[in-house]
Amino acid sequence: KAGVTQTPRYLIKTRGQQVTLSCSPISGHRSVSWYQQTPGQGLQFLFEYFSETQRNKGNFPGRFSGRQFSNSRSEMNVSTLELGDSALYLCASTLVVGSSTDTQYFGPGTRLTVL
């Protein structure tokens, strides 16, 4: 079974631009979570989507948004990019069987550099 895929793997943008990142979960997985990883703050939760609805949200400004499609694929968008948005963006997919043993499986990440 294929793992979580993220595209693109690397991205360079300039301040003020916007960017869209894509995540395809493991086949059959219904939940997609997004995280931002930086050297200073570590790994921080952005938001989680299930059945095309945002269920959980972290403490990030409204410039960060996302959505999920009917096939569970998810995208996240960052508008008006700032230098501090440079980070590794990771998505994770979860099967969701209603069990507390559900586990998040991570993709390889998208490395975003803002100049």
How many residues touch other proteins under the rule CB under 8 A: the total is 28
- Check binding of 43 to other proteins (CB under 8 A): yes
- Check binding of 18 to other proteins (CB under 8 A): no
Give the neighbor-by-neighbor strand order of the sheet with 19-24.
5-7, 19-24, 74-78, 64-68
Report in angstroms how near the CB of residue 53 gets to other proteins at its nearest. 12
What dihedral angle (degrees, nearest 10) is formed by the CA atoms of 7, 8, 11, 15? -50
- Check binding of 81 to other proteins (CB under 8 A): no
- Check binding of 85 to other proteins (CB under 8 A): no
Could you say which DSSP state residue 62 is in?
T
- Check binding of 76 to other proteins (CB under 8 A): no
The pair of structure tokens assigned to 46 is 């952005």
